[in-house]
Structure 1
């Protein structure tokens, strides 16, 4: 398909945008704690402008001052922010892109010690703290703050602003009947619930000038059913914003209460929100910005061709590949690094060992280290390097090492590359995962790596190869348990996922993280009676943007879930576990183990490397159990180091 529509100029009110590609405001979580982006965050936004985006929207500027600090948010709440923000706008615009600033307010889930506030004092599912209900006087003050924030953005040189009114943040909480239980002029009817955002829009237009474009980012459907905003009401809300002078509407969906609906992970198909665009398009005259998994260039083009939207917005696809626009324009589709929908970009809080602090990406280990990280420098001395293991860590290391001029050969004992990622990408709904191994294979081919499959390396073979350096990327294997003679059938969760085993009719899954949940869902879908137990919480230390989907599916399928239930042992007809202070017996035909993995360390290869005078390093799971993000990151860093 021709992608000509993507590269036509577009209009946002009085603003001409050079093409139809918008970099959605990606919160990079990279600030100085005092309301400013770090230099790495500014450089990251600038690189997306250089990569060919027509409009780059800087994320997360708070509209009013905080006495307790801003945490990982930025501020445009006072005039002294103008000189600093002027530099941000200048850096974006010097590459020909237009620059906009997102302005909003958190409400709940606050940072930096800020008070939690909301339209109504009520308990939410995502946090135990009950927010304080705002007074009418405070709302009116915040309206004035929004107006002044827009004025400052214009004075700082931004071409437009985007008002954040979606996904459960403060303005959208007022818009929603779920979170707004007020009985005054800000609650009840659609018109009343829209009053705050409409007043904010009017103030921004008044203070920044009627000719200054103000866009609104809104949830057209909160995906809460009748409890929240549904499409019909959301379309009416969009029409009200259009009539009030909004220059553009970015169509979003979901809310914090069901946070997986705000982030398009691997469960979602391409253009999953397309059913929302056309109703809004038919109801408004202002520019429409489509969102929701549009990283396939042909899918993005089709949205514009159908007239469903005037612009397409990309967040994670541009985080993964900042030069997505230029590659599409030049027809270099095969060179695009593709987002796999793993949502590891939301797991920054648990990755305190990663520097620089902020968002990181599985597929692009250079995020917040660009552009220097992408500049592959030639090796000072060329080595013959043996990489043992063709999982993600080994492939990434091999590709970078060969690109730097080393002579690299990679040996994989299995018949295909990918290691544990083959299991991770097996489920039908994980089709996005299946783009990662071909991408790494392509990079190895382009850099000249010699790849050997069905090729097991033992100590003798390593000595015959006589490399100058050995990279061990031998991965991990499923953790096992000591088994008694009298027990049900015991299988591994990875074998269930890969269809290598046929469990019985009654199944107990031991382990409640991803492998356990996926195995339980898969078996329950075939009509089996499934229970899942874990010594901790079900889905403990997983990403709620993914595990929430699994949890709901487990409930829908009638899977029995037993959190905080350690396995005590096996019996002839099932398992014993400790549950609410007593012994629980669960009869079953098959036990599925999903209790993690252990490193495959291969010390004999380290010894052989030492005997032939070669340096040696472990990377990935054979060094320390982690996930795909850590594996690729380690491979990328080692490749640049040697």
Structure 2
């Protein structure tokens, strides 16, 4: 078991024994259909994580009633027509020796739809982060939801699932009923702690009546809402104790945050690894039920320590197994160093599904595409080729990996002495160092696969052709464009790359012109302000960081609001004059002069380095380009290009 004696020890959850302690945590993936029925694509997504070695798969919370659908892509748990489709999920997971539980939820006042048709709540009030008001539930509504939970649990059991879980967690109706803030009712479902607990307890009883006493029934429980108005850990532990005392609950799956603190539900890289382990440890001290830990538990070494220290019984992972479904198997065979580590960027996963788009991962192209790109789909090349890849950024590394895996002889030419490309620069911005995990993993892979790497070598038409390649892949990246405004050539004006490469002399007062709305601008402002600079960031966009994933943006704003940063949206810089700049409002056209700046930095769109591609096109048998050399984009698109062309070669 390669040093993971706790992680790969079987464990019993009620009458179900799982082969190891790794739990694929429930999360919406937007892979089902709008008709509320299960899909093959969804089933294969869960099967992939079972194939990769997870002991327990917990499917996301399907809707218990029509009113409980947070998205049009939620499965109709109350409808018996789902049973045959769900049976496929169970069969596929069981083929790999894993167990599968089904989660049940009612969205309540939380929704991904904009606007929703109707939201239910204990008391008529919107969730604080939402503009959408709610209907205060009538007794008949409550009874319908209770029946829906019971029907859904029975359908999971009929489909061959090994257990069920209800959600009193970061979203959904049941948590709002136990909350003193949300539940201001004066009937039997509100007021005292016991009355506020009545609804979830009646749900539990109804499920037990439907599925029997021996069928595992767990609770995904929010232990700390992480809001100024919500409850904290002490109350969360009190809830857990009350649920345990019913004698009807099999385990507790820990959780935190709300839609108003969603950056703690699915915390990005700015939140420390293992931030919630203290909660599962406190819960272990409070109850005797099995406890599943969660909260940026990213690698098997960290997971093993949590178990060895007695802080949890099982380890919950969602994004790490999205990034690398084979994490469990790799760790078990002693190859943990080969794990493709999640970087918790949230760009490919949560940012997509919150828009009701199919789940993705920025450096696992197979996420959500398991049928065509998943484990076992990469076939050896029919004809082995000599492949030359030019450029050692993410796109070049990825295509080198895939081509080598297929049996091609690959030479990678890198003009500098280091692989990684622009990610090396991006990682210098605050809280972006984990981006290095992407090239780091690929570098390990190409080294293992025997890819020949030529460092400090400038690729030219002549020396590339001298290698007599069967195929050439151009991955030469991109460079910053230049603002076309008067004064841009002054000595105190730099683009963002100049600064990150240490080529800029930065004064104490900086005007930052950001046309991108992403980390290049917002991250640079934070970096310079944290060094004691006054930074004034101007942008034509609606606000600074407009194109950032929302959880990252929320935490960014929490940090930069404490720094000497001034932000002016809706304006374009139209000229620079010495230490002054003229900005123009994009809507009114009104101009304003900003004075007294030592340094000007701009962020604008990039241009592809494409000269070598055009020089070689038509002169070699096959010539492709990937990543920014085709069009400047993000890491995810660079990785995807590399995967696609690597499979095509």
Partner of 1:522: 527
The CA deviation at 1:635 is 0.5
CA distance in 2 between partners of 1:426 and 1:11 (Å): 45
Partner of 2:592: 584
CA distance in 2 between partners of 1:246 and 1:575 (Å): 65
The CA deviation at 1:145 is 1.6
The CA deviation at 1:231 is 1.1
Q: Which moved more, 1:625-634 or 1:429-438?
A: 429-438
CA distance in 1 between partners of 2:501 and 2:272 (Å): 22
Q: Does residue 639 of the first structure (1) align with residue 639 of the second (2)? A: no
CA distance in 1 between partners of 2:365 and 2:607 (Å): 24
The CA deviation at 1:333 is 1.1
Residues 8-65 of structure 1: per-residue CA shift (max 9 Å, x gap): 2222233322221111113221112212232122112112222222211122311113
Matches within 5 A, 1:407-556: 407-427=409-429, 429-482=431-484, 484-485=486-487, 489-497=492-500, 499-511=502-514, 512-537=517-542, 538-556=544-562
Q: Which moved more, 1:521-530 or 1:480-489?
A: 480-489
Structure 1 counterpart of 2:297, from 294, 297, 304? 294
Partner of 2:350: 346
The CA deviation at 1:118 is 2.7
Return closer, same or farther for 1:198/1:592 CA change in 2, 3 Å cut-off.
farther
The CA deviation at 1:172 is 2.2
The CA deviation at 1:184 is 4.2
Partner of 1:629: 636
CA distance in 1 between partners of 2:179 and 2:604 (Å): 41
Return closer, same or farther for 1:134/1:508 CA change in 2, 3 Å cut-off.
farther
Q: Which moved more, 1:304-313 or 1:496-505?
A: 496-505
CA distance in 1 between partners of 2:463 and 2:355 (Å): 38
CA distance in 1 between partners of 2:469 and 2:14 (Å): 63
Return closer, same or farther for 1:158/1:608 CA change in 2, 3 Å cut-off.
closer
Return closer, same or farther for 1:255/1:479 CA change in 2, 3 Å cut-off.
farther
Q: Does residue 560 of the first structure (1) align with residue 566 of the second (2)? A: yes
Partner of 2:149: 146
Q: Is the 1:22–1:313 Cα contact (8 Å) retained in structure 2?
A: yes
What SS does the aligned partner of 1:568 have? Answer: strand
Partner of 1:364: 364
CA distance in 1 between partners of 2:591 and 2:487 (Å): 21
Return closer, same or farther for 1:10/1:378 CA change in 2, 3 Å cut-off.
closer
Q: Does residue 312 of the first structure (1) align with residue 315 of the second (2)? A: yes
CA distance in 2 between partners of 1:68 and 1:212 (Å): 25
Instruction: Give the TM-score normalised by structure 1.
Output: 0.93
Partner of 1:116: 119
Q: Is the 1:258–1:548 Cα contact (8 Å) retained in structure 2?
A: no
Structure 1 unmatched runs, 5+: none
The CA deviation at 1:432 is 2.9
Q: State the Cα RMSD in Å.
A: 2.5
Residues 422-474 of structure 1: per-residue CA shift (max 9 Å, x gap): 12223463343222222111221232221112211123333433422221111
CA distance in 2 between partners of 1:240 and 1:67 (Å): 25
CA distance in 2 between partners of 1:63 and 1:632 (Å): 38
The CA deviation at 1:386 is 1.8
CA distance in 1 between partners of 2:355 and 2:422 (Å): 21
The CA deviation at 1:82 is 2.2
Structure 2 unmatched runs, 5+: none
CA distance in 2 between partners of 1:584 and 1:236 (Å): 57
Q: Is the 2:351–2:550 Cα contact (8 Å) retained in structure 1?
A: no
Residues 63-103 of structure 1: per-residue CA shift (max 9 Å, x gap): 11369996221122122222322232222123221210011
Return closer, same or farther for 1:425/1:215 CA change in 2, 3 Å cut-off.
same
